Amino acid sequence: MKNKLPLALLSLLVSASACAQSGPATESTSTGATAPCGFYCWWSTQTNATQSKQPAWAVPLVTTYTGLFQVVRFDALRQIAPALTDTWNFDNSKGLNVIIPHTNAEVDVNLPPLIEHNSPKVKDGAGDFSVLGKWRLTSGNAQHGAYVLSVWALMTFPTGSYKNGSPNPSVVPTVGFGKGFGNFDVQSTLGITLPTGSAAVNTSGRPIAWNTAAQYKIGKLFWPEIESNATFYQNGTNNGKMQEFITPGLLIGKCGIHPSNPKSRPGLAFGAGMQIATSAFHTYNHELVMTARWIY
């Protein structure tokens, strides 16, 4: 298990190297005319037009982004439990986010995470597969109020092995709102997990998750942030309990692959932070969060 940390950091180091070589680039988009250049160029132009109507904030470490975003994402988490055992989560149910052209819609396909436990009594295995559909209700870019309001639903499927996932499918309806004030922004989401079977209700319950991220942009690349990640448990084994984590972190990006071309989309972003338990009840003490993202 001691070798897991260097392996998990590998993707972040590759991202950092690419960022240093490519030079700075901003998250801002452009809707200027482009010469015909094939399907990807057409798709990029439509994506730029869609994102130009919302603020250009960084995607938080834990809190779901309140706007629309197109990215391939990989996360790695190291969780320390009260018994001082650690659990690694590779991918953390991330994957491919796609903006649908000519709409305010986004579809995410999230791969099952790989869960590794540092306990001989618990078997390692895959987690659950999930998909997400998001609709941006209204938004304004930095010149038009710097705000965004979206709704989405996450659907999970019980693909986990050795009890590393839920016994039943579930739906997680969520609403998210963000507001910017110059280089500062706040994004907040509120959602509830609704299992479709009694087995999941009796164990996990119907928890309500309230996440809020506050970010400040420094220069063209750096986004220090602090998040509050709270869960209010209803039903299940933790019925009536609440846990909260404060998550300071730093995000870097986007590092453009072609920084001299403002219309070019491809780029890298990466970041890290630490979840720290602040509530009397908590299922783990703290958690290292690392992320690497390919923006396309």
Give residue 29's pLDDT.
43
- pTM of full prediction above 0.75: yes
Q: Which residues of the chain have pLDDT under 50?
A: 1-2, 5-18, 20-31, 33-34
Give residue 35's pLDDT.
52
- Provide the percentage of residues in the chain whose pLDDT is more than 90: 78
Let me know if domain 4-295 sits in CATH 3.30.450.20: no
Give residue 36's pLDDT.
59
pLDDT digits (tens, 9 = 90+) for 233-271: 999 999 999 999 999 999 999 999 888 887 788 999 999
Give residue 263's pLDDT.
75
CA distances from 272 to 11, 138, 168 (A): 12, 30, 31
Give residue 209's pLDDT.
98
pLDDT digits (tens, 9 = 90+) for 69-91: 999 999 999 999 888 889 999 99
Nearest to 212 by CA among 34, 63, 12: 63
Q: Considering all CA atoms of the chain, what is the largest pairwise distance in Å, rounded to the nearest integer?
A: 60
Q: Delimit the domains of the chain by residue range.
A: 4-295
Q: Is the peptide bond before 254 cis (omega within 30 degrees of 0)?
A: yes
